[in-house]
Structure 1
Amino acid sequence: MQLVRVGSLTDFTCAVYSCTTAAPTATEAARFLAQATLGANRAQVQAVQSSDYATWIEAQFAAPRSQGHYDWLMANGYSAETFRDNAQGLDNTVWRKLVSHTDPLRQRMVLALSEILVVSATGLQGPWAQFAAANYLDILETNAFGNYRTLLGQVTLSTAMGNYLTFRGNRRSTNGSQPDENYAREVMQLFTIGLLQLDANGVPSAAETYTANDVSQLARVFTGWEYDISGLTAPLPPEVQRRPMVQNANAYETGSKSFLGMTIPAGTSAMVGLNTALDTLFNHPNTPPFISRQLIQRLVTSNPSPAYVGRVAAAFTNNGSGVRGDLQAVLRAILLDTEARDARTAAAPTFGKLREPVVRFLNWARGFNASSPGGRWDIGDLSNAGTRLGQSPMRSPTVFNFFRPGYVPPGTDAARLGLAVPELQITNETSVAGYVNYMQRAVAGNGIGDVRADYSSLLALASNPAALLDEVNLVIAAGQVPAATLSTLATALGTIAATTDAGRLNRVHAALVLVLAAPEYIVQK
């Protein structure tokens, strides 16, 4: 067996990373890209086939970033006064990158991080909310292949997080009042250490990680942080949402702060105190398995084995060069692990994940080269479950994301087996019908807004229903729809006359919608 090697991977073994004796098949490459991207076209599948997984990952790490969300809003006129008190333009730039940009692993990671370190445009108050959210996405993108500690620090001082979790303008205790505890609670519960003590493999104990007193003490660190308005004049321009928050010394709690068994001494400066607090959380033994498990859930499987979590957490703890929090090492560990790559593991009924609605939409859009000829990317907010997807990026209803990572759907076989199925938390009769109807409109209704897909590769196969379905199955579903189902679908497609251009296009539309609605596609294996 030949070990996949690249750069710092040379010291790892086949017990950690996938070994291969041959180039991946088209199905294997498509399955890898289903985990590593938000959708891939046939050319991208072939590119992985001609290379190997590790080399593809390294090329993604080296890929240049394109124009950021904040800069795109500025370039497209959203700094005009008419946009001050709304979030117009945000959806446009979000879809622009998620659908079209040529750094698919980075965009996949941005979506995953946005569902862990949650900020939602629906909860942003104050002027220029679209610029605050855009800058937040730029932070996630900048650090998607960086270090989690750097990401945590920049997230904490972003105006988006300060506004969303209500600690911007937080003041020290006065006359019996206490500082707002929102961020102190969530930075522990959701962004670093979680609720329960974990072992190195992410297996929880009954012991809680923090107490109410830890929350109230940590909240004192997050006082005095405010907009940086230096050099700006009223009314404040969008620039205020791009700048990290700064200290208002009159509002900062200068006393000692004791939490999680450590103390920040009285008189410690605000920035030193903040960094000490974040260092404490970052270096907590819970943080590697807690964050690693959630990233595995977003990319690969909802119920990773403790051993899989342990291997990824080990990469988080030490990238092989003594660095903690290296997200490149974490991504390599997630995507190259034998549990992710082994087809026998994938066949197990407990392996895999429900594709969230946004990912299904993006699989179609990226798989068939959707573009916006006018450059507007006018897809909009897809949050309505009855008429759209029931989910839209950067529009989570709460800080707990669209769905909880540990959600177990009651009254199901998953519940009987104790399995988490996070995405089922937003799945119901309304959303199931809404998804299929929306995708039918997207596929067969001349696109969404100004966004159009390119079906030229499929039209060439339309006269042969089996060949057409095989191609759609590979590009959209990584070959997961079984032969028996494809045979049934081919019979249905055969009833659509394909003797005219319109007939051939109807066949293509039907093939796409049928595969996008197939349960074997919706469950990513």
Structure 2
Amino acid sequence: MLMLWRLPRSGSFLALAIWLLCGLPHSSGGEFLAENPRHLRQLKAQVRAAQFLSKATFGPKQDDIESLAERIGQIGYRRATSEWIDRQFALPPTSHQQVALDIIDLDGRQPDQDQIGIANYRYQAWWHIALTGEDQLRQRVAWALSQIFVIGDSGNNFNNNDKRAIGGGEETIPDWMGMSNYYDMLAGGADGSYRELLEQVTYHPCMGVWLSSVRNRKANLNQGRFPDENYAREIMQLFSVGLYEMHQDGRLKVNDNGELIPTYDNAQIKELARLFTGFKYKHNASNSFYVNLNYGEPMQIHIQEHDNNYNYSEEPGAPASKTVFGTTLPPLPDVLTAEAIGEEIDAGLDAIADHPNVAPFICRLLIQRLVKSNPSRAYLQRVTRIFNDNGRGQRGDLKAVVKAILTDPELYRGQRLIRRTGPLRLQVVTRGTEYSRLREPINRVTALIRAMRPTSDYGGGYMMLSAAIGNDLEQMPFRSPSVFNYYLPDFQPPGELIGYTPTRRNPYDSLFAPEFQILNAVSSNRTINRLRSFCLNRFVQYSMRKGRCRISFDLAPEIELARDLENLDTILERFDLLLCNGTLRESTKTIIKDAVIAETTGRDWMNVDRVEQMLLAVVICPDCAVEQ
């Protein structure tokens, strides 16, 4: 795969970069020299800590690796990581709304100010929280959930600065903050109940706009009007059960003819479309179905527009209730009340959440977003068992599910850690295809910045990137191009997978690579050029809504080491641990060292050049791009 990009600083380094990008078969990863057996155990714990933190945070930092590794040495991997998860979920959620407001206030502006591109503050807040937030696990899970319960900012008025009175002396939040409000809802629900989160998503006005359930009216046959089916379809296809029935280990069920079994049909879509009628924006004083936008509070039900089970025509004789996945919902009274409608919707959501497909469907998506693209049957079985019962009789406990995903042995089985002698060292051996995934572009950027001891020159120490980087990465928070996310969970790059057959561990007899859907010649070129700029400048800089923000890397320790060529191995080991979790092959390290030495001999500030070029080579190599 030849990629055209700007020449870094010399032709030979360009050749090195292209060679690295072509990739080699994965086998042996990195090696870490040990001073004694005790040091070897510490190195092993550090590699395991880095591997775990790369999946549970937006990128490991050296101090965090050392802290977790020390705890792993004291009480073991599973207990240490489980303890870390409990501590993380005990932290209060960092609010995207509040951080955006704080930055606006720092800039001396107002959240409803006109003509300043106010909506961009939500991106600034997201980046700051991802890069600096203490509640890293909650925010990383929220990022995963945002790619399951998808909305995008192309909806009606999502970027406006308008706000409006809703009676009782209250005002709505400015429209642009609705997306941040939705994201905060996901972050708050990351350790809650799946069923509760499904309800919050259903009632959130941003989802109401995105999938047109707000102002969804009951049918009127005389006028040829029927309920909108958009949310009814997607709550099943994307948010709960998927298209086909599944075993608990992820395998798809088939009927006697060997055909896949659909989870729902058009009749079920119509039933749910009737259920999700009557939603309107919350207002304290007006009873109108068409009250103005309010993106900050759950939608209300307008009784007169909720389907009353009279077969759309207000005539008696039709079935007095609706059916969801074989469950008959409570009948509605002749005189509708908001309480009765709420109970009916609750029962419908219960029926969806209790469907046996929910556990394998949702757990697979979470594993893909947190750990690997192709979870094994056994991995899925173990996690779905926790989804179905957390050990205390509770179904859909997301905190327990996340802990099951992140403490499962399959998270670290992509690497074998082997003790070698002559000299004493730790060797990392990667297991390859079924244990790996292509890193999301967003996570490649956050991991790089967090690892480089960053500081910001922006007031208050805010670390922010602008939405412009999304043009390079083909991915940006809040900007999903469709309800199907940036990529499909079942995406397969075109062409044959030559020389590889999925093992029997795989539930689908096929391999998927979601992130490759946005990897193309253009996005690869732009992403690598962006990473090149970050590494060779040793800072990330973007224009904000007011001024600019420069996030500087502190590479002083590595630059000092680079004065002596004997220290290049030490520098590469550091970058390997932080950015590749120990998988940077020794052959790759040798090529990097040889090229860097050749390119920097006899040059002024050659130690600075060495560090910059080594960092760039590591960041763009396959061992960093593909996560084990």
Instruction: Name which of 524, 534, 541 aligns with 1:448.
Output: 541
Aligned to 2:224: 176
SS at match of 1:512: helix
The structure number with the bigger radius of gyration is 2
Instruction: Name which of 202, 220, 226 aligns with 2:274.
Output: 220
Aligned to 2:99: 72
Gap regions ≥5 residues in structure 1: 1-21
Aligned residue pairs total 500
TM-score with structure 2 length normalisation?
A: 0.75
User: What is the distance in 2 between the residues matched to 1:511 and 1:270?
Assistant: 62
Aligned to 2:396: 325
Is contact 1:213–1:259 with CA below 8 Å preserved after alignment?
no
Q: How big is the shift at 1:486?
A: 0.7
Is contact 1:169–1:224 with CA below 8 Å preserved after alignment?
yes
Instruction: Name which of 505, 511, 536 aligns with 1:419.
Output: 511
Instruction: Name which of 46, 53, 59 aligns with 2:81.
Output: 53
Q: How big is the shift at 1:203?
A: 0.9
Instruction: Name which of 163, 177, 194 aligns with 1:148.
Output: 194
Q: How big is the shift at 1:508?
A: 2.3
1:149-191 deviation line (CA, Å, top 9, x unaligned): 1111111111111111111111111222111111111111011
Q: How big is the shift at 1:504?
A: 3.0
Instruction: Name which of 347, 352, 355 aligns with 1:276.
Output: 347
Is contact 1:382–1:390 with CA below 8 Å preserved after alignment?
no
User: What is the distance in 1 between the residues matched to 2:183 and 2:550?
Assistant: 22
Is contact 2:203–2:298 with CA below 8 Å preserved after alignment?
yes
Aligned to 1:4: none
If asked which structure has higher relative contact order (CA below 8 Å, sep 6+), I would say 2
User: What is the distance in 1 between the residues matched to 2:361 and 2:541?
Assistant: 37
User: What is the distance in 1 between the residues matched to 2:135 and 2:608?
Assistant: 30
User: What is the distance in 2 between the residues matched to 1:289 and 1:120?
Assistant: 25
Q: Does 1:208 align with 2:239?
A: no
Q: Does 1:38 align with 2:58?
A: yes
User: What is the distance in 1 between the residues matched to 2:188 and 2:307?
Assistant: 31
1:3-54 deviation line (CA, Å, top 9, x unaligned): xxxxxxxxxxxxxxxxxxx775221211111121110111110011011222
Is contact 1:465–1:493 with CA below 8 Å preserved after alignment?
no
Question: What does 1:177-256 align with in structure 2 at a 5 Å threshold?
Answer: 177-205=225-253, 206-230=260-284, 240-255=294-309, 256=321
TM-score with structure 1 length normalisation?
A: 0.89
Instruction: Name which of 468, 489, 493 aligns with 2:596.
Output: 493
Q: Does 1:87 align with 2:119?
A: yes
Q: Does 1:434 align with 2:526?
A: yes
1:106-144 deviation line (CA, Å, top 9, x unaligned): 121111111111111133535444311100110011111
Q: Does 1:368 align with 2:416?
A: no
Instruction: Name which of 103, 107, 111 aligns with 2:143.
Output: 111
Higher mean alpha-carbon deviation, 57-66 vs 153-162, is at 57-66
Q: How big is the shift at 1:210?
A: 0.4
Higher mean alpha-carbon deviation, 46-55 vs 452-461, is at 452-461
User: What is the distance in 1 between the residues matched to 2:432 and 2:136?
Assistant: 28
Gap regions ≥5 residues in structure 2: 1-40, 72-79, 161-173, 254-259, 310-320, 334-339, 417-428, 503-509, 543-548
Aligned to 1:521: 624
Aligned to 2:326: 261
Aligned to 2:570: 467
User: What is the distance in 1 between the residues matched to 2:592 and 2:132?
Assistant: 30
SS at match of 2:261: strand
SS at match of 1:448: strand
Task: Output the amino acid matched with 1:380.
Answer: S
Q: How big is the shift at 1:263?
A: 2.4
Q: How big is the shift at 1:86?
A: 6.3
Is contact 1:78–1:88 with CA below 8 Å preserved after alignment?
no
Task: Output the amino acid matched with 2:476.
Answer: S
Higher mean alpha-carbon deviation, 264-273 vs 350-359, is at 264-273
Is contact 2:364–2:380 with CA below 8 Å preserved after alignment?
yes
User: What is the distance in 1 between the residues matched to 2:153 and 2:209?
Assistant: 10
User: What is the distance in 1 between the residues matched to 2:449 and 2:181?
Assistant: 25
User: What is the distance in 2 between the residues matched to 1:432 and 1:113?
Assistant: 26
Q: How big is the shift at 1:501?
A: 8.7
Q: How big is the shift at 1:83?
A: 6.6
User: What is the distance in 1 between the residues matched to 2:622 and 2:523?
Assistant: 14
Aligned to 1:9: none
User: What is the distance in 1 between the residues matched to 2:569 and 2:597?
Assistant: 9
Higher mean alpha-carbon deviation, 373-382 vs 311-320, is at 373-382
1:279-322 deviation line (CA, Å, top 9, x unaligned): 11111100011011111111111111111101000011111111
Q: How big is the shift at 1:498?
A: 8.2
Task: Output the amino acid matched with 2:626.
Answer: V
Aligned to 1:13: none
Q: Does 1:102 align with 2:134?
A: yes
Q: How big is the shift at 1:350?
A: 2.0
Q: Residues 382 and 207 (structure 1 numbering): CA distance in 2 closer, same or farther, change over 3 Å?
A: farther
Aligned to 1:16: none
Q: How big is the shift at 1:502?
A: 4.5
Q: Residues 130 and 237 (structure 1 numbering): CA distance in 2 closer, same or farther, change over 3 Å?
A: farther
Q: Does 1:390 align with 2:474?
A: yes
Q: How big is the shift at 1:73?
A: 2.9
User: What is the distance in 1 between the residues matched to 2:181 and 2:626?
Assistant: 33
Is contact 1:125–1:163 with CA below 8 Å preserved after alignment?
no
Q: Residues 457 and 285 (structure 1 numbering): CA distance in 2 closer, same or farther, change over 3 Å?
A: farther
Is contact 1:312–1:330 with CA below 8 Å preserved after alignment?
yes
